[in-house]
Amino acid sequence: MSSTISEPDTIWSETRDRDSIGGRIRRAREAVGLSGAQLARRLGVKTVTVNAWETGRSEPRANRLTMLAGFLAVSPTWLLYGLGDKPADETLTSELSLIAASLKALRETHDRTGETIDRLEAQIARLADQARERPEDDAA
C-alpha cells in the first residue's frame, strides 16, 4: 500500500495573477470605473502618486494599500501578490455601466415626458375653464 504525502495547501499554492502590483491597481481601478484622479482624491493623494503606483515607479504604503483595496473592492493580498479574488470581470463591468447609463437616460426621458403631459393637461384645463366662462353672446 503506497501513500503519498501531499503538501499542505497554502496561499502560495494558489494560482496567482502574474501582473505587477501597478497593473493590478490599474485593472481594479478601471473595473470600478474610477479615473486615476478620482481615486487619488478619495485616497487623499496626488494623481501623480496613483500614476506612479500604476506604472511601478513606487508602491503604496501599508495604510494606503488597505484604503486602496477598500475603494477598489479587492483584497490587499490580491493587490500585493495577485492571490485571491480579482476584480469583477472588466467586460461585464463596462457592459453593466453602459446598460445603467441607458436606463438613466430612459428614466430622464420618461420624467420629461411626464412633465410635458402635466403641462399639456394644465393648458387644456385652463382653456376649458376660459371657454366655460365666456358669455354665450360672444360665441355667436
Cα angle: 61, vertex 62, 66; to 5 degrees: 115
* pLDDT > 80? residue 119: yes
Higher pLDDT: 91 or 97? It is 97
Percent over 90 (pLDDT), the chain: 48
According to the model, what pLDDT value does residue 35 have? Answer: 93
* pLDDT > 50? residue 6: no
Q: What average pLDDT score do residues 98-106 get?
A: 81
pTM: 0.55
According to the model, what pLDDT value does residue 7 have? Answer: 47
According to the model, what pLDDT value does residue 101 have? Answer: 76
Count of Cβ atoms closer than 10 Å to residue 61 Cβ? 10
Name the phi and psi angles at 73, rounded to 5.
60, 40
Please state, rounded to an integer, the average pLDDT across all residues of the chain: 83
According to the model, what pLDDT value does residue 46 have? Answer: 96
Q: Which of 14, 29, 42, 34 is nearest to 79 (CA)?
A: 29
Q: What average pLDDT score do residues 23-51 get?
A: 93
Cα angle: 62, vertex 82, 80; to 5 degrees: 15
Specify the range with the lowest mean pLDDT, choosing from 6-10, 12-16, 75-79, 90-94: 6-10
* pLDDT > 60? residue 40: yes
d(CA 23, CA 90): 14
Percent over 70 (pLDDT), the chain: 80
d(CA 73, CA 87): 7
